[in-house]
Chains A and B, each alone.
Chain A
């Protein structure tokens, strides 16, 4: 028994269609520069003058920074409230609009898919649709995440194997 996740919501407690408001974060100039220095040192994320001359027309955050800030909102608002057991990855990450200095981004997470793991009856897989918008309500990023969640009852998972032959399992999560 895992004492950290024992009292959290488990796989059986999740419902497809459930939407969680993850809150917002303001992206400051200092945040853009410090993230870019560490992970994405391109001129239009590092240098305001170069950014003004670029296609983006001003200092914009790295798309990966938008993703990392959203991940933090997702952790605080959802993953740390369920018996999450690691990420399997994501698909269809689309950067729709640059996030400019001073923008506030806010995110929602929607439970889009629930299925039992075929090889690991102790886990289920939750598909989460993330939608991120700026303060004007314009979409800036969307993606579908896949995450492992502990199941309360591994036995149900054993039976589920028989009725879900299409379930493709990937790795052990990160």
Chain B
């Protein structure tokens, strides 16, 4: 998130934009990452229960991730333009749940929406907070394409490092000592 942990609002949907999936990109993604016949071969796909070629669920998810990166980037620019300092996000530890609900066919347009459903300060990493996010993808007919529950990190603006911890962190930056301390923890 480009917002500081303290500024993140719960249950406020944040639109990430839309993407129209062409047959060419569905087939290209399938050939590279998910070469099952209903993702790569339109003739063979007609024999499947889908009745034609459909996008790999992972393709729809990766495009959703790209939309999220772009939207958060734009939000960062917007905040800077308002004279505010954007927050800092950290690497994601994972995805709790991903449900593929309906297939995406060539020509379908998928709209993505991000909602932070809860947050709490991290127990293991001082100065950071955990964000629990829902990402919902919906097609042009209003049908849910997928629903995801993601976990992310966001930095605390008002965090003051306790002195003992700050000293320990400084010590781990000394090459040999850092290794020894790292082994202990």
Known pairs A40-B65, A174-B57; list 17 more (Cβ under 8 Å).
A4-B48, A39-B63, A40-B66, A64-B61, A68-B33, A72-B33, A72-B35, A85-B49, A90-B98, A91-B95, A93-B96, A95-B91, A122-B49, A170-B99, A173-B100, A174-B102, A174-B146
A39 to B63, CA, bound (A): 6
Residue on B nearest A72 in the bound complex, by CB: B33
Count, chain A residues at interface, CB 8 A = 41
CB distance from A93 to the nearest CB of B (A): 4
25 CB < 8 A contacts A-B: A4-B37, A4-B47, A55-B91, A56-B91, A63-B91, A64-B61, A64-B62, A67-B58, A71-B34, A71-B56, A72-B34, A75-B34, A75-B35, A85-B48, A86-B100, A86-B103, A87-B57, A89-B97, A89-B99, A89-B146, A90-B98, A92-B96, A94-B93, A98-B91, A174-B54
Taking CB atoms and an 8 Å cut-off, the chain B residues in 55-109 that contact chain A are 55-58, 60-63, 65-66, 69-70, 90-104
CB distance from B146 to the nearest CB of A (A): 7
Contacts of B50 in A (CB 8 A): 86
The answer to whether A174 and B55 touch (CB under 8 A), given A76-B35, A95-B91, is: yes
Contact B98 A3 (CB under 8 A): no
Sort A-B residue pairs by CB-CB distance and give the 6 closest, nearest first: A174-B57, A174-B100, A93-B95, A171-B101, A94-B94, A89-B99
Chain B interface, >50% SS class = mixed
Contacts of A143 in B (CB 8 A): 95
CB distance from A107 to the nearest CB of B (A): 13
Does any Cβ of A come within 8 Å of B32's Cβ? yes
Q: Which residues of B contact A (CB under 8 A)?
A: 32-38, 44, 47-50, 54-58, 60-63, 65-66, 69-70, 90-104, 146
Q: Which residues of A contact B (CB under 8 A)?
A: 2-4, 38-42, 55-56, 63-64, 67-69, 71-72, 75-76, 79-80, 84-95, 98, 122, 143, 170-174
Residue on A nearest B38 in the bound complex, by CB: A86
Contact B35 A80 (CB under 8 A): yes
A86 to B60, CA, bound (A): 14
Partner of A174 from B35, B93, B103 at Cβ < 8 Å: B103
A38 to B63, CA, bound (A): 9
Contact A92 B94 (CB under 8 A): yes
Contact A64 B36 (CB under 8 A): no
The answer to whether A91 and B96 touch (CB under 8 A), given A3-B47, A64-B65, is: yes
Task: Give the residue among A79, A172, A174 with the most B Cβ atoms within 10 A.
Answer: A174
Contacts of A69 in B (CB 8 A): 33
